Structure 1
Amino acid sequence: MFIFITSIVFFMPIPNGSADTPGDSITILFTHDMHDNLLPFEVEREQGKMTVGGYARLSSAIQEQRSKDPDAIVVDAGDFSMGTLFQTVFTSHGPSLTMLGQMGYDATTFGNHEFDFRADGLAESLLAAKDSGVRLPGIVMSNMEFPKDEDGKIAADVQALKEAVDAYGVKDYIVLERKGVKIGIFGLMGEEAAGNAPMSGVTFRDAVENAKSTVAALKEKEGVDLVIALSHSGTATDPSKSEDERLAKSVSGIDVIISGHSHTTLMEPIIVGDTVIVSAGEYGENLGILNISQDSKANWAVNQYQLRKIDESLPADPVIAVTIEDYKQTIQEEYLNRFGMEFDEVLAVSSFDFTPFTELGVEQREEPIGNLIGDAFIHTIRELEGSAYEPIAAAVVPYGNIRDSFSKGPITVADVFKVYSLGVGSDGSSGYPLLDIYLTGKELKTVAEVDASITPIMNEVQLYIAGLSYTFNTNRFLFNKVTDIQLQSFDGTKEEIDDEKLYRVVGGLYSVQMLPYVNEKSFGILSVVPKNEDGSPVTDFEDRIIYMNEQQEVKEWYAIANYFKSFEKMDDVAKVPAYYEHAKDRKIVEHDANILAVLTKPNGIILTAYAVLLTFVGLLALLIAVLLKKRKRKLGKVSV
């Protein structure tokens, strides 16, 4: 879940805070949802494009604030990893944690993306960070459990994580003391976030109930004066989905909630009772600064709140800058060399901006970036297979897997990876691999209907499908929205779909594995069964992975990077074709409320529904007729 609340950042001065009595103010510096953005990045704001973020500048901002208040604490609310090329050495070097340690963070918690490499991947990362020898932040996570099977045993990978957690020293909470104030800090994983880590191997207790017992322990056992929750749960404009507001309402005794997961930028704190909820936005674009002190009732009140923009006004911390460069070299040697690509290599230049990431998925519509990614999958597989290439009918690209967008100007390997960075392959290395499956023509049509019907319910499942052209009307009945669909080649040529024929379809490991869940999400009305060439159901999706050679999987990001390199060159630099500046009638969305537009062209599903409805109406009419007939007879007898 991603929520973006934008406004003009305002700044307030932070007091120096040098006294040493319990009544003095406490400064909390905070971040969340950093997603391995160690380097500065470009964003589009009202004042135009600007370069923000980067750990070298962030470190300077932290030092700047600690020069004003040496007792300030620095915390992070999770999802510190996954999102850039730095994640490729997550298991071998644990760069996220080591960098937080070097910048002086006191504590962090796990977000759902820390489990992207599953339990054993996180275990390796924790141990790698511990072995680095640098000062590390404390990790707090109070509602994580290691489940046992029927025989009372823990799975091997989960056991490895449990041992790594113990070795690192992950705790339910930690207690710090600043200016004579005892501060309890605990971590939580929210319900929605936990649901986004389905392969973690661990389970998470109810956040509210767990928080109640943890706060009680901090207050009664540890005698803390201030309770801070690092909550990877998030806030939302819809109160029913705003988990951290619900947490504050349900649990007394939490003084401050650092709210992560929803990527929210709160220009002012949310105050729920005696609890202060704050969020600083994503990717380290801002350093959150909260200064609080106790009022006459011993409740913690906000003195000042600031989001310090991490921009060019800040110098780069030279030590952090050198460490980042060292990591870049490690990534080159351990990961990128196998793909024949370089970290900052310019793949192509674009003369236009693609839709900004903050606008992607807001509407049901075709997106050029979705077209480009799908075309890249098809192109790279065709190139690899050469004369043995078997035509691909469609490439599936879920909106939820796109993590950034492309801007006008040079596009590098690092840029491409950031756009499509999710997952890990069966080879244990970063990035989901491409695979192929087969679907019948009828199932291809079903995939389009899934996009049309389920997207309004679950926006993250919106699809961009290269190889198809389909039209749907948002005002039609659920699961009957698609009114026209055909195969469409790159040049726009269209071909009718044979319902019984098997068609080759490609996508990433995660995307294709999710197709069978169509059954569940459509309440059993729709069905998609991925198949092998012979029509038999796929039982192990990893058997369908496509390889560059005997060992190297074709990663999704690599296919995109490879496609950029294939574009026609001008002055020895590939140029992104103007073809991708606009939509290509691959997904045509109509909003026609005319009764004919709504009811004509019913599919088999709706015809069945109509038949059931007509049967019901017929039976109802028959029942009414029988009752009227009986009534007439009764009235006739009375009149006689």
Structure 2
Amino acid sequence: MTHFKQRILSRTLLLPLFLFFLLAPSPAAGARISVLFLGDLHSQLLPVSLKTNKTTVFFGGLVHGAGLLAKEKAAEPDSLILQGGDAVSGITWLHFSGEPEFSALAAAGVQAMLLGNHEFNYGPEHLKRGLSFSSIPVLSSNLTFDDWELAERVSRHVILKSGDTSVGVFGLASPNLSAQASPGPRVHIDRNLEDVSVKMIRELREKGAEAIIALSRLTREENANLASSLEGVHAILGGSSNEETPNALFVQGPNGWETLLAESGAYGAFIGKLALTISEGRTDREKTSWKLLRVTPQSGRHPEVERIASSFENRLNEALISTVGIFENYVDGRSSTVRGGESSLGNFICDALRWRFKTDIGMINGGGIRGDRVFPAGNISWKTLMEILPYNNPVYIVSLKGSQLRQILELSAGALKGGENDHYDPNTRPHTGAFLQLSGLRVEYSLKGEPSLVEADGKLIRWGNRLRSLSVFSDGEWRPLDDDRVYTVAVNSWTAGGGDRLFVFAEGTTEKTDIRDIDAVAEYLMSRKDKTVRFGKDGRIRITDS
């Protein structure tokens, strides 16, 4: 179906919906609905600790977040409590199948929650086990399931009561879910978000909903575009940015309809509080407010959530030393190795990124690989993986032209020390940690060439000429890089933003994912036969003095 036909169909659907609004009952003038919204929890039950100078600051986490929710609920008993997906993440989600997170959210009083991306990180069967620990209504309006148990457990929408007002809630999964997680072939995504939303609005209105809220895993741009095309949704809460919005955005749709957009960020650092006033069926913008409530130890504790968190904290410590996979041989993870040439550890990490995200290329900066030691052969635990990849960076997919990749690799070569008369100056050169490990590429550098020079703020002083040859693995064979072709690169968020003076990355088109580098590597390791890896080099990076 062409884009034009889709728009015509959408407008055809909207016309009877508009007529339905004229006939449907509306809430009394000045109806007020209070919503407490919890964003991406990422399994953070206990507070986050952050060391600044010599002081350790604690914030976020559901133990204190639930304490704050309880206080707000006591002050306004009619408040609804909603959660916007990505409640789970990482090792806690993998090892305990959601029991601590979903049990704690139920104890905190959450009345409806969205399926996010992380919920699918370990496949639908893992998700089913997680959902068995809670009776909270779980929403996704644009996903359908071949698995009958998931189909029965996940609802398209739900109607909740806030005082005398019926509030309809539906949820939208990311149209890029398959690239960001592992839903598998038996989970089907409807990417026509406008048509899905129109159907949800109609169904909810037919069931008596007087106010409608959408929970979203979309990008901010997708949220805004959707809101501009809809009439009937009063608020869209959440998104995929992992960042909070101090001020709500109002987007105008058809017939002057206004939809509020807001997010409350990640790790339970904030609870979003929406005071939604509806007059004659529409949002009363002047009497509607959104604010962020900061979660700190002063917010109070929730006894049951704290009990759940504490019991699993001890079990998590045991899980950290459990085996993820096996290293058949030792691997050199010293800084001088991962920042100075081809590294078998760097090869493995980049292969994992390319495999997990199905991109043309995988890259990691040498400074992103830590540990600075030789890791022995034998069983490998989560603790060891966390030593190698401690930053827990999300992975982004950056689309770049071949010509831009050449520039990036020239900058990477500029981070290499060595060669005749090479007086390395950190003030004008990419840092040694900017040297890139690779997958899907073969490069040759010459230390006889001039290094690229870049100022500390990322401003180019001059291009170097150390890159001598470059090929890409495409359609099963090695081919010369095409300067005009666009390639996809899986890389951590730091590098994707131009960190380490690799400024060309920031010129590409970036797709954010919620998957962390360590999770991608662990998943790759566990997918291998007998969960085993044998490290080695294959000549993908060659460095010469000629």
User: What band does the TM-score fall into relative to the shorter chain?
Assistant: 0.5 to 0.7
User: Residue 484 in 1 paired to residue 489 in 2?
Assistant: no
SS of equivalent residue, structure 1 residue 119:
helix
State the alpha-carbon separation in 2 of the partners of residues 527 and 114 from structure 1. 25
Match of 1:614 in 2: none
- Write the distance in 2 (CA, Å) between the matches of 1:465 and 1:527: 16
SS at match of 1:264: coil
Q: Give the Å deviation of 1:141.
A: 0.3
Equivalent position amino acid for 2:295 in 1? I
Q: Which amino acid aligns with 1:266?
A: T
Q: Which has the higher strand share?
A: 2
User: Match for residue 149 of structure 2?
Assistant: 163
Partner of 2:350 in structure 1?
Answer: none
- Equivalent residues in 2 for 1:421-460 (5 A)? 449=406, 451-452=408-409
Alignment partners' CA distance in 2, 1:143 and 1:56: 32
Q: What is the CA deviation profile of residues 359-387 of structure 1, one whole-angstrom value per residue up to 9, with x for unaligned ones?
A: xxxxxxxxxx943543549832xx228xx
* Runs of 5+ consecutive residues of structure 2 not aligned to the other structure: 1-26, 253-257, 325-363, 396-401, 413-433, 446-450, 455-462, 490-520, 536-540, 542-546
The CA distance in 2 between the partners of 1:205 and 1:555, in whole Å, is 41
1:419 aligns with 2:391: yes
Residues 449 and 482 of structure 1 are in contact (CA less than 8 Å); yes or no, is this contact kept in structure 2? no
State yes or no: 1:384 paired with 2:384. Answer: no
**1:261-289 CA distances to partner (integer Å, 9 max, x unpaired)?**
11132111000121111111121100101
Residue 210 (structure 1) aligns with: 196
Distance 1:49 1:172 in 2: 43
Q: SS of 1:249's equivalent?
A: helix
CA pair 181-554 structure 1, distance change in 2 beyond 3 A: farther
Query: Equivalents in 2 of 1:543, 1:293: separation in Å?
Result: 46
Contact 2:116 2:173 in 1 (8 A): yes
Q: Deviations over 1:305-331 (max 9, x none)?
A: 221111122222222112111112333
Is 2:217 the partner of 1:232? yes
Q: Is residue 232–residue 261 contact of structure 1 (8 Å, CA) maintained in 2? A: yes
Aligned equivalent of 2:85? 78
The residue number in structure 2 matching 1:104 is 109
1:303 maps to which of 288, 293, 310: 288
The equivalent of 2:226 in structure 1 is 247
Q: What SS does structure 1 have at the residue aligned with 2:45?
A: coil
The answer on whether the counterparts of 1:38 and 1:54 sit within 8 Å (CA) in structure 2 is: yes
**CA offset at residue 116 of structure 1?**
0.9
Work out whether residues 142 and 173 of structure 2, in 8 Å CA contact, stay in contact via their aligned partners in 1. yes
Q: Using the TM superposition, give the Cα deviation of residue 485 of structure 1 relative to its aligned residue in structure 2, in angstroms.
A: 4.8
The question of 1:138 aligning with 2:140 is answered no
Residue 22 (structure 1) shift: 7.5
* Residue number among 322, 327, 337 corresponding to 1:338 in the alignment: 322
Query: For 1:348-367, what aligned pairs fall within 5 Å after superposition?
Result: none
Shift of 1:260: 1.9
Cα deviation, residue 124, structure 1: 2.9
Q: TM-score, normalised by structure 2?
A: 0.59
Report the counterpart of residue 126 of structure 1 in structure 2. Answer: 131
| Matched letter for residue 38 of structure 1 | L
> Per the alignment, in what secondary structure is the counterpart of residue 175 of structure 1?
strand
Pairwise CA distance, 1:338: 2.5
State the alpha-carbon separation in 2 of the partners of residues 517 and 171 from structure 1. Answer: 47
Corresponding position of 1:174: 158
Residue pair 2:49, 2:57 contacting (<8 A) in 1 also = yes
- Which residue is 1:374 aligned to? 369
Distance (Å, rounded) in 2 between the aligned partners of 1:412 and 1:317: 33
Structure 1 residues 118 and 24: CA distance shift in structure 2, 3 A: same
Post-superposition Cα deviations, 1:28-66, rounded to whole Å, max 9, x if no partner, equal 000222211112113489998632111110011000100
Q: CA deviation at 1:195?
A: 3.7
CA contact (8 A) 1:518 1:527 kept: no
What do the CA deviations read for 1:555-595 (whole angstroms, capped 9, x no partner)? 99xxxxxxxxxxxxxxxxxxxxxxxxxxxxx9xxxxxxxxx
| Cα 1:323–1:297 shift into 2, 3 Å | closer
CA distance in 2, matches of 1:253, 1:415: 49
Counterpart for residue 37 of structure 2: 30
Q: 1:125 to 1:519 in 2, by over 3 A?
A: farther
Q: Could you tell me which residue of structure 2 aligns to residue 494 of structure 1?
A: none
Shift in Å at residue 299 of structure 1? 3.1
**CA separation of 1:212/1:485 partners in 2, compared to 1, >3 Å: closer, same or farther?**
same
Who is 1:117 aligned against?
122
CA, structure 1 residues 103+77, in 2 after alignment: closer, same or farther (shift >3 Å)?
A: same
> How high is the sequence identity, in percent, across the aligned residues?
18
Q: 1:53 aligns with which of 22, 40, 60?
A: 60
Q: Could you tell me how far 1:416 is from its partner in structure 2?
A: 7.8
Deviation at 1:245, TM superposition (A): 0.6
Gap change, CA 1:332 and 1:212, over 3 Å in 2: same
SS in 2 for 1:70: coil
Q: CA RMSD in A?
A: 4.9
Distance 2:75 2:144 in 1: 40
1:194-232 CA-partner distances (Å, limit 9, x unpaired)? 54236543231122221111111111x212100000011
Ranges in structure 1 where 5+ consecutive residues have no aligned partner: 1-19, 131-135, 147-153, 236-241, 341-368, 386-410, 424-444, 456-461, 475-480, 487-496, 501-511, 529-540, 557-585, 587-640
What residue is the counterpart of 2:437 in the other structure? 465
- Could you tell me which residue of structure 1 aligns to residue 273 of structure 2? 289
Tell whether 2:245 aligns with 1:266. yes
Return the alpha-carbon distance in structure 2 between the equivalents of residues 66 and 416 of structure 1: 43
How many residues were matched structurally? 385
Task: Tell me, yes or no, if the aligned pair for 2:117 and 2:174 is still in contact at 8 Å.
Answer: no
How much does 1:109 deviate? 0.7
Q: Distance in 2 between matches of 1:86 and 1:304?
A: 35
- Match for residue 208 of structure 2? 223
Distance 1:325 1:555 in 2: 38
Q: In the alignment, residue 81 of structure 1 is paired with which amino acid?
A: V
User: CA distance change for structure 1 residues 254 and 313 in 2, over 3 Å: closer, same or farther?
Assistant: same
Question: How far apart, in 2, do the equivalents of 1:516 and 1:542 lie?
Answer: 27
Q: Structure 1 residue 139: deviation in Å?
A: 0.6
Tell me how far apart the structure 2 counterparts of residues 165 and 75 of structure 1 sit (CA, whole Å): 21
- C-alpha spacing 1:447/1:523, structure 2 compared with 1 (3 Å): closer
Conserved in 2, the CA contact under 8 Å of 1:42 and 1:51? Answer: yes
2:233 is paired with a residue whose SS is: coil
**Quick one: which amino acid aligns to residue 374 of structure 1?**
I
Answer whether contact 1:77 1:259 (CA < 8 A) is retained: yes
Q: Is the CA contact 1:288–1:308 (under 8 Å) kept in the aligned structure 2?
A: yes
Instruction: Answer yes or no: is 1:322 the counterpart of 2:288.
Output: no
Partner residue in 1 for 2:328:
none
Partner letter of residue 145 of structure 1? Answer: T
| Alignment deviations for residues 439-461 of structure 1 (CA, whole Å, 9 cap, x no partner) | xxxxxx99974954999xxxxxx
State the Cα deviation string for residues 455-502 of structure 1 (Å, max 9, x = none). 9xxxxxx9842999975689xxxxxx873159xxxxxxxxxx9x99xx
Offset of residue 95 of structure 1: 2.6
The SS at the match of 2:297 is coil
Aligned partners of 2:157 and 2:302: how far apart in 1? Answer: 30
Q: Does structure 1 retain, via aligned residues, the 8 Å contact 2:85–2:115?
A: yes
Letter in 2 for 1:216: R
Distance, in Å, in 1 between the alignment partners of 2:289 and 2:224 is 21
Report the residue type matching 2:366 in the other structure: N
CA distance 1:307–1:46, change in 2 (3 Å): farther
Note the C-alpha offset of 1:178: 1.8
